[in-house]
Chain A
Amino acid sequence: MTPSLSGILLQGGFNLRPASASTMAPDVDHLYFILTGISIFFSVLIFGLILYFMIKYRKRSDAIPPPTRMSIPLEVTWIVIPVLICAFLFVRASAVFVHYQDPPSGSLEIFVVGKQWMWHIQHSEGPREINQLHIPIGVPIKLTMTSQDVIHDFFVPAFRQKMDVVPGRYTTEWFQATQLGTYHFFCSQYCGTSHSGMIGWVTVMKPEDYAGWLRSNATPESSAVAGRRLFSQFGCEGCHAPDGAGKGPSLTGIFGKTAALENGETRTVDEGFIRQMIVNPASLPVSNYPQIMPTFSGQLDEEQIMQLVAYIKSLGGTEGSK
């Protein structure tokens, strides 16, 4: 059955913006309104002038009108005014962007792995979901994301937030939901045949409902516990003994510390550092230790690597000392 055009128009409604369900959404909408206002102002100004000139100065005879001289003050005016407007927009928009770059400390951490063509989501407490993300309202949520294959992008229109999900590295995105409800999330970076099917739902719940959801979806082990199992299964403890007696460093309390590399650079031991150390240790020659760690690339999938990261984080340390 094909619905009529008017039926589609009526049923679709004419919303001009999506639901506003995060702390970031009103800030972005505010900028959007300012920009729309500026656009309408200049459109009306320019189109109004053009229409006025079109009518007033339409050709009435073959006489050639006398020339108008170029006016330097006029040229300067219409350079300076746009410059000031652009500077204002740049400052306002950048401030919002920077504010929503780094997640606040104490954010609830959730791992996301994109793969053609589904989203695997791993809560720290253990529950795993596919194309579904359950989160509590009013709590900052930090997504640590990577891709198993090509570049994806985790986009939640109702939160006005998105970030590419890139193979070979971790990217992060955070938001804090302000409205209960269920909202679409999309893959917005073209990723192959079923790109448009890589869709899911975010469910924003009351904290107590979220706690209940975690309980009813409880798994035998949390991410960190699963990571500990992998840690011994792959023989990591052989070198990374907790007491530091192995060939490699003890990982207790290492998260958030600064690591010195042989070339003199320093790097913060964060999620991305640990991931890189597991899959490509040769690219991170740490001072004071022999370069003997083998790569685990190909032996562990991204979700297992994330569990190992969660385990190493659970061993303590200070986060965000950069």
Chain B
Amino acid sequence: MSASVAEIPVESRVHYLNVDYGIKSWLFTTDHKRIALLYLGSITLMFFIGGIAALMMRLNLLEPNGAIVNPETYNKLFSMHGIVMVWFFLVPSIPATLGNFLVPLMIGARDVAFPKLNLLSWYIFIIGACFTLYAVISGGVDTGWTFYTPLSSLYLTTHVLAAASGIFITGFSSILTGLNFIVTIHRMRAPGLTWFRLPLFIWSLYATSVIFVLATPVLATTLMLVGLERVFHAGFFDPRLGGDPILFEHLFWFYSHPAVYIMILPAMGVISELITAFSKKRIFGYKAIAYSSMAIALVGFFVWGHHMFVSGQSAYAGLIFSALSFAVAIPSSVKVFNWTATLYKGSISYDAPMLYALGFIGLFTMGGLTGLFLASMAVDVHVHDTYFVIAHFHYIMVGGAVMGYLGGIHFWWPKITGRLYPDVWARLAAVTIFLGFNLTFFPQYILGYLGMPRRFAMYPPEFQALNVLSTAGASILGIGYFIPFIYLLWSIRYGPVAPANPWGAKGLEWERAPSPPPKENFEEIPVVTEGAYMYGNPESYNV
């Protein structure tokens, strides 16, 4: 990037970033775009906190007896990693940043339905994050992110209440965001923007919002019961008082399995946008992809028992949960096939966002296929609670959700900031992350089948070779995640000014709004006359 390009003067046009200045203009903003950036900053911080915990875990596992920390600390590290990454990065990642920024822009609205509620959601998120960080700083918590009882409710003496409160509070942020999106998508679409003209990203966020609203209250209830058990020894989960620890597992996974889809559905929505934009083709099977999002959201509520095949739940229940778990694989595979078919006879370019999108399809496919192993009960019995499961859900949540998130950030960065980032660095980072990711997590499939249980601070020496490989991969992955952090920050000040539509993409946010958009998004509310992704000559779609 030459210096002269970087010195192009900033546009004098008024947009949402320069309409006013000062800390107050950010902390009291109700502009969905600024709230998106507030979230972006907060979750980036949380991502690096969770990431540091992961790196320390991987370093510790270099040696069978633990290379750097004792088991007590190790247990706190993986608990912190899970809690921070799940609730303070992955769950809010795409919905709260890209979703907040894009929902009104994509549907031709000036803001979300409840702008003040939107700001409140961010404050609730921050309060929840403060509780959780307090739990970390004051000595940590060693429950694992799953808070299984009676360990969490009766036995551990760490800061369980603070951590659980943090998650409890943050849940309301999810609920309010989901509510806001549902109402916005129902009520505020531009004239002519029918449901089947919506971008698929909106469909995926709609499905996600439904899960936010329906599943999160169950998590809140569950954590409250754990709190009551800890403080008043209420006995919900204590067998000595007639309670049942398995009840906790049912309640927890009733939220936490749908939560997996909270994390992956928005990423699938991003990928649908990227694949079509960079192959200059209308998405193949629009309705199939839209319906599959809704199917995943629906069926995803009825598969929680596959986390409990070896918990002692009835074998009949296990059979039904196994069948439903296979069923939920179908809509996911439909998406993969349709994305692949979209490339057919396209005009494909390989800018950085597209590399992330292709990486997503590869990693998500492998994560999805290994999900079949876990839905197969007899195989699950063996690999349950081993590194096989760790590898599987990291392929979905990191290989899938994080790749999708980064792809989306790179795609819409020019729209968000009005600046371009150095494409060479961005492609290099995408490739580094892809390779580092596979080196980190592929060996864990083998480790898991060999029988290494998860959450082991120490392990028998026969598992060392694969652990060393995995840690080597993690260090590459860590560098891969750090590179975008640097050049994206750099681009805000020094990047070339972005045109309104640098990718030649379809969509109201690209075609009707400048980069960055004005505070009110559109001078005039656009009128939509065609379906999504109609590249090229509109006549050719009338055949």
- Report B247 CB to chain A, min CB distance, Å: 11
- Sampled A-B contacts (16; CB under 8 Å): A42-B365, A54-B350, A57-B345, A58-B347, A58-B350, A60-B347, A64-B347, A64-B536, A67-B281, A70-B285, A163-B312, A167-B239, A167-B245, A190-B144, A199-B460, A283-B242
Interface membership of B137, Cβ < 8 A:
no
Interface membership of B38, Cβ < 8 A:
no
Contact across chains for A162 and B384 when beta carbons are under 8 A apart: yes
Give Cα distance in the complex from A222 to B309, angstroms.
34
Contact across chains for A166 and B347 when beta carbons are under 8 A apart: no
Contact across chains for B280 and A65 when beta carbons are under 8 A apart: yes
Contact across chains for B536 and A188 when beta carbons are under 8 A apart: no
Give Cα distance in the complex from A82 to B369, angstroms.
11
Among candidates A58, A66, A90, A280, residue contacting B242 with C-beta atoms closer than 8 Å: A280
Contact across chains for A35 and B285 when beta carbons are under 8 A apart: no
Contact across chains for B373 and A184 when beta carbons are under 8 A apart: no
Given contacts A150-B151, A164-B312, contact A196 B376 (CB under 8 A): no
With a cutoff of 8 Å between Cβ atoms, the chain B residues found around residue A94 in the complex are 319, 322, 377-378
Given contacts A67-B536, A197-B458, contact A163 B71 (CB under 8 A): no
Among candidates A98, A162, A193, residue contacting B71 with C-beta atoms closer than 8 Å: A193
With a cutoff of 8 Å between Cβ atoms, the chain A residues found around residue B378 in the complex are 24, 27-28, 31, 93-94, 96-97, 100
Give Cα distance in the complex from A280 to B240, angstroms.
8
Among candidates A28, A50, A83, A187, residue contacting B382 with C-beta atoms closer than 8 Å: A28
With a cutoff of 8 Å between Cβ atoms, the chain A residues found around residue B72 in the complex are 193
* Count class of interface residues, chain A: 35 or more
Segment at the interface with A among B219-227, B464-472, B474-482, B514-522 = B464-472
- Report B165 CB to chain A, min CB distance, Å: 21
- Report B463 CB to chain A, min CB distance, Å: 8
Contact across chains for B382 and A161 when beta carbons are under 8 A apart: yes
Interface membership of A322, Cβ < 8 A:
no
Question: Sorted from nearest, which 4 A-B pairs have the closest CB atoms?
Answer: A168-B239, A157-B451, A12-B465, A64-B536
Give Cα distance in the complex from A122 to B328, angstroms.
43
Chain A 39-75 near chain B by CB (<8 Å), digits 1 or 0: 1001100110110011001111101111111100011
Among candidates A39, A75, A90, A163, residue contacting B323 with C-beta atoms closer than 8 Å: A90
Give Cα distance in the complex from A28 to B366, angstroms.
20
Given contacts A35-B373, A46-B361, A47-B362, contact A13 B347 (CB under 8 A): no
Given contacts A17-B449, A65-B347, contact A39 B369 (CB under 8 A): yes
Interface membership of A153, Cβ < 8 A:
yes
Q: How many residues of B contact A (CB 8 A)?
A: 100
| Chain A minimum-CB-distance residue to B323 | A90
Contact across chains for B343 and A50 when beta carbons are under 8 A apart: yes
Given contacts A14-B465, A47-B362, contact A86 B327 (CB under 8 A): yes
With a cutoff of 8 Å between Cβ atoms, the chain A residues found around residue B337 in the complex are 46, 78
Q: By CB atoms of chain B within 10 A, which of A9, A27, A43, A195 has the most?
A: A195
Contact across chains for A196 and B543 when beta carbons are under 8 A apart: no
Interface membership of B502, Cβ < 8 A:
no
Contact across chains for A43 and B365 when beta carbons are under 8 A apart: yes
Contact across chains for A18 and B446 when beta carbons are under 8 A apart: no
Given contacts A75-B334, A169-B312, A193-B71, contact A160 B381 (CB under 8 A): yes
Given contacts A12-B465, A157-B451, A169-B312, contact A93 B343 (CB under 8 A): no
With a cutoff of 8 Å between Cβ atoms, the chain B residues found around residue A74 in the complex are 341
With a cutoff of 8 Å between Cβ atoms, the chain A residues found around residue B382 in the complex are 28, 157, 160-162
Contact across chains for A190 and B322 when beta carbons are under 8 A apart: no
Given contacts A65-B345, A97-B378, A166-B246, contact A196 B457 (CB under 8 A): yes
With a cutoff of 8 Å between Cβ atoms, the chain B residues found around residue A35 in the complex are 372-373, 376, 379
With a cutoff of 8 Å between Cβ atoms, the chain B residues found around residue A23 in the complex are none
Contact across chains for A68 and B345 when beta carbons are under 8 A apart: yes
With a cutoff of 8 Å between Cβ atoms, the chain B residues found around residue A66 in the complex are 345, 536, 540
Give Cα distance in the complex from A61 to B536, angstroms.
13
Interface residues of B (CB under 8 A from A): 71-72, 75, 142, 144, 146, 148, 150-151, 155-156, 239-240, 242, 244-246, 279-282, 284-288, 309-312, 315, 318-319, 322-323, 326-327, 329-330, 333-334, 336-338, 340-341, 343-350, 358, 361-362, 365-366, 369-370, 372-373, 375-379, 381-382, 384-386, 446, 449-451, 453-466, 468-469, 534-537, 540-541, 543
With a cutoff of 8 Å between Cβ atoms, the chain B residues found around residue A87 in the complex are 326
Give Cα distance in the complex from A94 to B326, angstroms.
12
Among A148-204, those with CB < 8 Å from B are 149-151, 153, 155, 157-158, 160-164, 166-169, 171, 184, 186-197, 199
With a cutoff of 8 Å between Cβ atoms, the chain B residues found around residue A89 in the complex are 326, 372, 375-376
Contact across chains for A39 and B372 when beta carbons are under 8 A apart: yes
With a cutoff of 8 Å between Cβ atoms, the chain B residues found around residue A234 in the complex are none
Given contacts A39-B369, A67-B536, contact A195 B456 (CB under 8 A): yes
Interface residues of A (CB under 8 A from B): 5, 8-9, 11-18, 24, 27-28, 31-32, 35, 38-39, 42-43, 46-47, 49-50, 53-54, 57-61, 63-70, 74-75, 78-79, 82-83, 86-87, 89-90, 92-94, 96-98, 100-101, 116, 149-151, 153, 155, 157-158, 160-164, 166-169, 171, 184, 186-197, 199, 279-280, 283, 297-298
Q: Interface SS of chain B: helix, strand, loop or mixed?
A: helix
Contact across chains for A57 and B329 when beta carbons are under 8 A apart: no
- Report A160 CB to chain B, min CB distance, Å: 4
Task: Beyond A46-B340, A74-B341, list 15 extra A-B contacts (CB 8 Å).
Answer: A43-B365, A47-B365, A53-B348, A58-B348, A63-B347, A65-B535, A66-B345, A75-B285, A78-B337, A90-B326, A150-B148, A162-B385, A164-B311, A192-B155, A195-B456
Give Cα distance in the complex from A187 to B468, angstroms.
23
Contact across chains for A17 and B71 when beta carbons are under 8 A apart: no
With a cutoff of 8 Å between Cβ atoms, the chain B residues found around residue A61 in the complex are 347
| Chain B minimum-CB-distance residue to A171 | B312
Give Cα distance in the complex from A32 to B337, angstroms.
24
With a cutoff of 8 Å between Cβ atoms, the chain A residues found around residue B384 in the complex are 162, 188
| Chain B minimum-CB-distance residue to A76 | B288
Among candidates A54, A70, A157, A283, residue contacting B287 with C-beta atoms closer than 8 Å: A70
Among candidates B280, B338, B464, residue contacting A64 with C-beta atoms closer than 8 Å: B280
Give Cα distance in the complex from A163 to B311, angstroms.
7
Give Cα distance in the complex from A57 to B387, angstroms.
39
With a cutoff of 8 Å between Cβ atoms, the chain A residues found around residue B318 in the complex are 97
Give Cα distance in the complex from A297 to B327, angstroms.
44
- Report A289 CB to chain B, min CB distance, Å: 21
With a cutoff of 8 Å between Cβ atoms, the chain A residues found around residue B451 in the complex are 18, 155, 157-158, 184, 186
With a cutoff of 8 Å between Cβ atoms, the chain A residues found around residue B372 in the complex are 35, 38-39, 86, 89
- Report A47 CB to chain B, min CB distance, Å: 6
- Report B281 CB to chain A, min CB distance, Å: 6
Contact across chains for B346 and A191 when beta carbons are under 8 A apart: no
With a cutoff of 8 Å between Cβ atoms, the chain B residues found around residue A78 in the complex are 333-334, 337
Contact across chains for B348 and A189 when beta carbons are under 8 A apart: no
Q: By CB atoms of chain A within 10 A, which of B309, B382, B460, B462 has the most?
A: B382
Contact across chains for B449 and A16 when beta carbons are under 8 A apart: yes
| Chain A minimum-CB-distance residue to B453 | A188
Contact across chains for B468 and A9 when beta carbons are under 8 A apart: yes
Given contacts A57-B344, A151-B151, contact A50 B358 (CB under 8 A): yes
Contact across chains for A67 and B151 when beta carbons are under 8 A apart: no
Among candidates B151, B344, B450, residue contacting A157 with C-beta atoms closer than 8 Å: B450
Contact across chains for A153 and B310 when beta carbons are under 8 A apart: yes
With a cutoff of 8 Å between Cβ atoms, the chain B residues found around residue A191 in the complex are 151
- Report B273 CB to chain A, min CB distance, Å: 17
With a cutoff of 8 Å between Cβ atoms, the chain B residues found around residue A169 in the complex are 239, 312
| Chain A minimum-CB-distance residue to B450 | A18
